[in-house]
A and B are shown apart, each in its own frame.
Chain A
């Protein structure tokens, strides 16, 4: 506003404070859904990508030297980046949750495990591994991690669609609320609208007053909502970390580009929604008078 020029619309009253709160809260929820969807999906993708090229081969009834020979054989299979025979200590560590720290029962036949890493871009080498080992006469089971990594990814994909749906629902609710509130504000300001109209103000001029007012309201409420959402996500991650959860699914606590995009886009969408709703409502109301 220019120096000394009072707005033709009165400054916000209680009604606008309530609307500010509602729009801010809706933006908070929408931004929270967007940020959660984004960071969960991002973390899951990083994790599944890491796990995708990994296979575990278990050999039953294999003598130590046979296992070593099998490992060398696996290393020669096309698309294999590395293969490593796990030591007994490693296997004990893996089985510890099941059998406790006292070690394995002496009479339990312990499988030999070979950890295989596929070369990047090699595709699925599970079948090639199985065939090679079968031909060489080993009794081997090849466990491809990608199978269940895929399940995790599909589940996360569904979760993301749900989150996007929630974002869309919240955005349309915000738009409807704003349209409703604009209508109420217009009725409350009917006196001003009438005086301006009779003074010869064009419809666009009057609509512009409301558009500017509601654009700023949406922008500010959206900024507050998005900032609070970002702070909440950061707080949740910080709490999860400090409580000792080191799961690879926890997203990094960094302000990356998508976060910033959510931070910027939420207020802009809220502002635009408010502005467009205000414009349409006012123009429509004015069309009903001469």
Chain B
């Protein structure tokens, strides 16, 4: 009996089909990756340094096309989109870059508001929201400082504020807590979880910090040798999961 594949695949927020990636002359960084993330899901991407986590995320935030295979977002194969459609799709995605990529000549506040300006929003309409968000990530006092005068952790929080300021449908974060102390790390994780729970944002976070990953009950995709493996939740920890929700486990 022939059965069509379940429709759930077509409504995946993120879907990779046999995706490979190679940079120019180098070998394959990613070799044949399949992945489907449901809308509103929360997942981790782990792997050793150099395993290709950042490269995989680049494909997801449409910074480059895969060498072969198809990347589909929000149910649409991206290889068939026009440039303007790709731009429109990128507006639905918030990205925290591993290296922050803040604009040096803008203040923390202006950096955080950048995606709103790109969308053509008026400052009068978003000012209060951006200020509130920056206060929430602990930058209320320093929001009018330039990145160069901020610490690494503060810059990271500006980068996170910029990624979530548009309340995106998909949040992609590359090592988003790499430069902050564990307390702030947990606080930022809660921000991602809030977004996921309250707005249904699909979240994928790359991290090689297994301690952090273990604190949160969420599917973990592990990248090694160019291949992606989905880890089964560790026994005993799955029981702490309630429904589809995500929660931070108590510190041990």
Contacts and interface: CB of A to CB of B under 8 A. Distances in A.
A259 interface: no
B114 interface: yes
Contacts of A123: none
Contact of B103 (A11, A192, A205): A192
A290 B64 contact: yes
B87 A202 contact: yes
B120 to A, nearest CB: 9
B110 A200 contact: no
Contacts of B95: 198-199
Given A199-B91, A199-B114, A6 B105 contact: yes
Contact of A290 (B63, B84, B88): B63
Contact of B86 (A5, A11, A290): A290
Interface string B97-113: 00001011111001000
B63 A198 contact: yes
A202 B64 CA distance: 16
B124 to A, nearest CB: 10
A195 interface: yes
Contacts of B114: 8, 195-196, 199
Given A8-B117, A290-B65, A200 B87 contact: yes
Contacts of B89: 200
A255 interface: no
B184 interface: no
Given A10-B104, A198-B95, A290 B118 contact: no
Interface in B57-90: 61-65, 83-84, 86-90
Given A8-B103, A8-B117, A10-B104, A200 B61 contact: no
A289 interface: yes
B119 interface: yes
B63 A201 contact: no
B119 A11 contact: no
Contacts of B123: 2, 4-5
Contact of B118 (A11, A191, A199, A289): A199
A61 interface: no
B105 A195 contact: no
A81 interface: no
A198 B163 CA distance: 11
A200 B117 CA distance: 11
A199 B115 contact: yes
Interface string B156-179: 000000000000000000000000
Contacts of A5: 117, 123
Contacts of A195: 101, 103, 114
- 3 residue pairs, one from A and one from B, having the closest CB atoms: A200-B91, A200-B90, A10-B105
Interface of A: 2, 4-6, 8, 10-11, 191-192, 194-203, 205, 289-290
13 contacts: A6-B110, A10-B105, A192-B103, A195-B103, A199-B95, A200-B90, A200-B91, A200-B92, A200-B119, A201-B118, A205-B118, A290-B63, A290-B86
Given A200-B118, A201-B87, 8 more contacts: A6-B107, A194-B63, A195-B114, A199-B90, A199-B115, A200-B92, A202-B84, A289-B63
